Amino acid sequence: MRPKMACADFTFPLLAHDKVMQLIALLEFQGVDIGLFEERSHLWPSQEFEEVEVSARNLKRELEGLGMEVADVFLQMAPDFTPYALNHPEESRRRHARDWFERTLDYASGAGARHVTTLPGVHFEEESWDSSFHRSVEELAWRVDRAKAHGLVFSIEAHVGSIVPAPDLAAKLVTSVPGLTLTLDYTHFARLGMSDEEVEPLIQHASHFHVRGACKGRLQAPFKDNIIDYTRVCEVMGQTGYTGWIGIEYVWFDWEHCNECDNLSETLLFRDHLRTITGGGDTVFPEGG
């Protein structure tokens, strides 16, 4: 059967958030990837967390009224990766990151989500990579435990500029933290010139998946320039028993040339491409979760 597909609410930043929700419903998506990106998305965590239960309940009610649900809640605490990276050397910043993560879990639970994503941390150049990595492992292990207590699946997105920018490093991190999963996005690796074959082993660790076009040198590219073989990706998902959502994640902001695509058209092109891939042939998905 076809997997459940979601669209990111931060794909259309120029629309009011209620209009974004309506548009995603009109595009026939079953779920929404919610971006809690401080100073960079419709829903800023600093504002949503003022009354977590109320904010979460309102989001859930809005989506239910449109026949959708929350596929993922993605927390980013600042426009830049570094100031509140979960593995920051300063203990006070790590405490603040933990506090916001706890609130994210409450928010996700209240909104009816079953999945939460954060970034994995960065390499702080004033120390060795191993030191930064070890601190990420400690912080992520704590987050896995807290997510489990809320009945949520927790994942990290290995991304350009993170402590794990390559597939082998992402695998090292996820296997170093029992229970940790990946929000897998091939585009961060394609942008660096890495092949699909290098990324494919990570599918077994994925609990959520991001789709958009990419090519060497471009984190985000139109469908016509995309080099990622999503037919093969979906075949392997079926073989490994992937049960998560597939979220189409075009973004629009001035970073990595990500404001140079027609997000509406590209979202539709990939939606229909994925429907074609997963609706025929031998690709079989378990019940989406």
Q: Return the CATH number of the domain spanning residue range 5-278.
A: 3.20.20.150
Q: Given this model, what pLDDT does residue 279 score?
A: 82
Q: Quick one: pLDDT at residue 260?
A: 85
- pLDDT of res. 71: 98
Strand partners, 116: 73, 154
Quickly count: other Cβ atoms within 10 Å of residue 219's Cβ: 22
Length of the chain: 289
- 147 φ/ψ sector (left φ>0, alpha ψ -120 to 50, else beta): alpha
pLDDT at 285: 55
* Residues 147-157 as b or e (16 or more Cβ within 10 Å = b): beebebbbbbb
Query: For the chain, what are the domain ranges?
Result: 5-278
3-state secondary structure of 37: strand
∠ CA 2-159-274, rounded to 5°: 20
Could you read off the pLDDT of 46-55 as tens digits, one per residue? 999 999 999 9
> pTM to 2 decimals?
0.95
Q: pLDDT per position in the chain (289 positions), as tens?
A: 478 999 999 999 999 999 999 999 999 999 999 999 999 999 999 999 999 999 999 999 999 999 999 999 999 999 999 999 999 999 999 999 999 999 999 999 999 999 999 999 999 999 999 999 999 999 999 999 999 999 999 999 999 899 999 999 999 999 999 999 999 999 999 999 999 999 999 999 999 999 999 999 999 999 999 999 999 999 999 999 999 999 999 998 877 777 889 999 999 999 999 999 988 544 545 554 4
Residue by residue, DSSP assigns 147-159 as HHHTT-EEEE---
Q: Please, where are the H alpha helices in 1-76?
A: 17-26, 45-48, 52-65
- Token pair 């490093």: residue: 169
Q: Is 112 left (phi over 0), alpha (psi -120 to 50) or beta?
A: left
Determine the distance from the C-alpha atom of residue 43 to the mean position of all C-alpha atoms in its chain, rounded to a whole number: 15
The predicted structure's pLDDT at residue 281: 45
Among 154, 256, 155, 149, CA closest to 212: 256
What confidence score (pLDDT) does residue 286 get?
Answer: 53
Spatial contact of 114 and 153, defined as CB atoms under 8 Å apart: yes
- Of 265, 224, 241, the residue nearest 27 (C-alpha): 265
